[in-house]
Amino acid sequence: MWKLPVWVLFLAWASFFFVGSGLSGLLKSVACNWTGIAIATATLLSVSHTSSAVLVAIAVGVGSFAMVQVSRLAWVSAAPAIVFGFAMTVGTIAATGNSVTTVGVSNPALIAATTALVGAGFGVASQWGAAALETLTQSMVLRRAVQ
């Protein structure tokens, strides 16, 4: 059984609403989250064979710079959602105990990317559910008003 970290799912769900919701929100949220996951993965791979705190700090600085710069592109212009993706990756590493160099389905970046997609799906489902409840409530109010 593949366990998706629930808090990563919640970050992706929040990211969906942060970027605007709907189909465009789904696409932009996932694109931004996956961009952050890719930058985190590259950052962590670049320091995977060092124990130097200075090199790690420099790599994180470069990763942060990359997140801000890439957010200049329209389709990934929500910098906080990119940062969410970076955090999803680092947090998944902490939650699973697996290194970013882990091969296969236990790779934290792969788990974070999948969870980001599922979380955005939860965002869509909750948006549709809220719209359905609103329609149902309005229908009930109209029925009572007619009676």
- Could you state, in chain order, the average pLDDT of each consecutive group of 10 residues for the chain (147 residues)? 84 94 92 98 94 94 97 95 96 93 94 96 92 82 69
How far is C-alpha 110 from the geometric centre of its chain's CA atoms? 12
* Predicted pLDDT at 43: 97
Residue type, 89: T
Quote the tokens at residue 19: 């970027």
Task: Give the angle subtended at the CA of 74 by the CAs of 68 and 79, to the nearest 5°.
Answer: 30
Cα angle for residues 97, 41, 71 (degrees, 5° grid): 135
Count of beta carbons in the 10 Å neighbourhood of residue 10: 13
Helix (H) or strand (E) holding 8: helix 6-19
Neighbours of 96 (CB within 10 A): 16
Predicted pLDDT at 137: 83
**Which tokens sit at 144?**
């009572």
Instruction: Show me where the domains of the chain are located.
Output: 6-146
